[in-house]
Structure formats: structure tokens, C-alpha cells
Amino acid sequence: MGFISENIDKALGAVEKGRENMDYSPQSREVGRVLSVARGVARIEGLGSVRSEELITLGVGVPGMALDLLEDSIGVALLGSNTGLRAGDEAVPSGQVLSVPVGESLLGRIVDPLGNPLDGGPHPETFETRVVESEAPPILMRAPVDTPMASGIKVIDTLIPIGRGQRELILGDRQTGKTAIALDIILNQKKGDVVCVYCAIGQRSASVARVIDTLRSHGAMSYTFVVVVEGDAPSGMQYIAPYAATSMAEYFMEQGKDVLIVYDDLTRHAQAYRQLSLLMRRPPGREAFPGDIFYIHSRLLERSTRLKPEHGGGTLTALPIVETEAQNISAYIPTNLISITDGQIYLSPVLFQKGMLPAIDVGKSVSRVGGRAQAPAYRKVSGDLRLTYSQFQELEAFARFGTRLDQDTRKRIEHGLRVRELLKQDRFSPLNAAEQVVILWTVSLGLLDDIPLERISEVQEYLITKLEEGFESMERLPQAGPKDGVWAELEKAIVHHMSLWREANAAA
């Protein structure tokens, strides 16, 4: 008995000592309950103080974002698999609006919209976060677009120029080269100071893998990072992907850097948002899209701009991609995006089938801002090029009727054929501004009108090589004004080398 009594006294003493040392500070926590679960969405109750876009953890750790705030329940877009999530599970709010990690360590990485690595590497070492959906910079913080974003593609830099801070839409049917153009523009920034972001939304794994392989094989990952959400991911992840990628890009813009972001593509983004909205029983509108479908894209693209020097001076240039069906650019989503952006590059399946690559339809493409940012030399060589090319297209269509053509009309058609041949360009073969100006000035002078079409590319390579070797003003050519004496020197050099080429080929 004494032994038992002694042990009881020790136990009571330990309990008493523990009670004295115990820090009793109870904390209250709001907890809700899951009412229902559907594919990619859930409805919960009991969370009266949750904010819009707040991160909520459901069940055993499924993340979600508050999207619908109703009187009696909250609609949540799930950001993970709902496997194992059931009605009655707990829903715990985080008290934080959904944010993503940002920082220099993202460069060269492949991540999902929440910043989790997808390339097998460690988690990026970031020390800062940004909310996914931040407000666009106000008007007073913005500066005019006056610096070109060189694409290396002749037809774009000449006729549809893009400026840093611009939003230029790329649209066209399936398999017409939309992603190829965006990739070429990213690869052309290799020698520059532009940070590039490629955001893949709802793409097939094989397509994303090809894009990443292209970026790696051309050494572009040193200044690029990729945000990926595949087609089988929850709709909520597809919905937040472009906003998350933009938040990551804005970090670099606020450091005073120039940033280029590609959204590939916003058609799938709109479809993901339509799926979320219909599952949450929002009223459907045109083509079953919700009424705010225009707003979700406008508030995304408005974040692309050029900041004034006192606010960092950085730029964010957006290249959203949208897919059309049967060349219908007046469909709902393409029309919305055309009205939001500062111009569009339209890729025609007809030109693509004819082998005219890139298959850009100059007549339906436009840049509403980039012309102000164009180098002076482009204005000299492209002044009449668009008009000449448009007239050629009309005359070519007219000539198909078999009508007898006068000599002047035939001359215009032959000249237009050379222009069109020169505007063709292989993938991954960008040309700098000086090289483009040389070729375009040559065709503008009519010096290629007697060259067979199949030899135009040969003459182009010959001229560029010779002028880079012997023309001293090559470097300052892009900044040459219309009355600069360099144009007379350039014409003289081109005529000389063309005569040498003709003599060599005549002898052969």
C-alpha cells in the first residue's frame, strides 16, 4: 500500500507542476463544412468572414480558392484533386488571399501556377510572394510605348511591329503556327535584356514538352521560366494560371526590367472559367459563357504596360494566343480579345497550306501602338510596302480570271511575288534589324524583280553576308532617318553586289 501511495503522490505532483507551467491561451478558429463536391468545385457553409479569392483548405489538405460569396454558402474552385473529399469534411480558411512565390530563382525553372516545381528540381528559393490577382497600374503610372520589342521576323517587325509594354494578340485556326511565332519572339531575345515567361494553359503534355525542349536546345531557359497547367488539371488551376504567371512577371517589371509573357492560350482559359461558372450555377450568357467573361480577360491584360521611370521604368509585354474555328475571327472570345488588345497578328490556314510561312495575313493583322516604337529605318523601307503588297494581292486574285493584263499590271504582280517570297522565313532563323532593312530596301528598289522566285532566298543570304563583311554603316543603319546619306551608300553597295552576283551566275 505504501508503494502505491507513493506513486500516486508522485503522479499528482507531476500533474500539479504541469498545470502550473501550462500556458493556457485558447484561440478561436472559424471552421466550415463541405456541403457538396463536384468536378473541380465545392460548396461550403459556415464561413462568414471569408474574403474573395481567399485560400481555403478542405478535408485532408485539398487547397481551394473562394470564388462565389453567397448569403448561405461559398463556392470554392479546387486547386487540387478532390479524391477523398466528401460532404461533411472540414473547410479551414487561411486568412490569406491566394498568393504565389516570386523572385529571381524562378528563371530557368518549370513551375505550376502555385510555384511548385515540375522539373524535378528543388523548390525555388523565393523570399517574397504576390497576390494572384492584383490591380493593374493606374494611368498616371504608365508611360507611352516607344521602344521596339524585336521579333526577328521580317513581316512582323516591318508591317506589324510590337512595342515593349504592348498587348498584341496572336490568333488563328489550329496548327497554323501561333505558338511557333511566340517561341520565335522569345528566342530572339537571347542577346537582349528581356525576361520571358511562357504560360501554358490546358495544353497537352506532348505539346508543352516540345516547347520546353525548344527553349532548352536554343539556350533560352537562362532568361525564361515556364508556368504549366495541363489539360487534365482542375479547372481552378487553369483559371488562375495566367494571373499567377503575370504576378510572377510583375516582380521583374517592378525591378525596372523588360518582360515578355505569352499566354498559350486564352481560349482554353475561357473554357475553364465557363466550366467553373456552370458548376457553380451562375447564369449562362452567350455560348454558355458567364456574363463577366470579358472582364476576366480585360483585368488580366490591363496589367501589361510600360511604367514611368519614377515607378521603375519596367515593361510587361503580353502576347495572348487565341484559337479560332473555321477562320471565324468574329466569334465571341476572339472578338472580346481583339477589342481589349492593341493589335492582332492573324494566321491564315489558306496561307499555311500554300507553304507561306509564317502564315501571317497582312490584311487582317494590325499593330495599333508598335509603329511609334519602330526604328526610323523601318519607316523608310516599309512606307509603301503594305500598300504595294495589298495591291498585289488584289491584282493576283483578279489575274486568276484569265484576263489579259497590261505591262504595268504584270510588273506589279512580279514585284509583289518577290515581296511575298522575301517575307517568308524559316523557324528559328531570326534576322536583326540591319539585315531586315537591307533585304527590304533591296526589294523596294526593284532590284529583285528579274530574279527567279526559287533563288530569292539565295540572293538574300548572299547580300546579307557581303554587306556584313564590307558595309561599314551596317550597325547604324536601323537608326538612319529618311534623309540620311547612308541610304545612298547602301543603294550603291547593293547595286554593286547584285551586279557581281548576276555576273557570277551568268558565267555559271
Q: Give me the phi and psi of 404, to 5 degrees please.
A: -70, 130
In contact, 160 and 360? CB cutoff 8 Å: yes
The percent helix, strand, coil of the chain (3-state, each to 5) is: 45, 20, 35
Length of the chain: 508
Contact residues for 381 (Cβ-Cβ < 8 A; gap 6+)? 158, 437, 440, 441, 444
- Cα separation of the two ends of the chain: 121
Q: Provide the b/e sequence for 462-496 (b: ≥16 CB within 10 Å).
A: bbbebbeeebebbeebbebeeebebbeebeebbee
Between CA 245 and CA 113 the distance in angstroms is 7
**Nearest C-alpha neighbor of 300 from the set 254, 245, 251:** 245
Contact residues for 17 (Cβ-Cβ < 8 A; gap 6+)? none
Q: What are the Cα distances from residue 408, in Å, to 99, 235, 395, 421, 447?
A: 64, 59, 11, 20, 16
**Nearest C-alpha neighbor of 236 from the set 276, 283, 277:** 276
DSSP assignment of 297-364, as one string? HHHHHTT--BB-GGGT--EEEEEEEEE-STT-TTSHHHHHHHHHSSEEEEE-HHHHHTT-SS-B-GGG
Cell triple for residue 349? 490556314
Helix runs in 204-234, H state only: 205-217
- Kindly name the residue from 299, 368, 372, 386 that is annotated as catalytic: 368
How crowded is residue 349: how many other Cβ atoms within 10 Å of its Cβ? 18
Question: By three-state DSSP, how is residue 11 classified?
Answer: helix
Catalytic residue status for 368: yes
Q: Mind telling me the catalytic residues?
A: 368
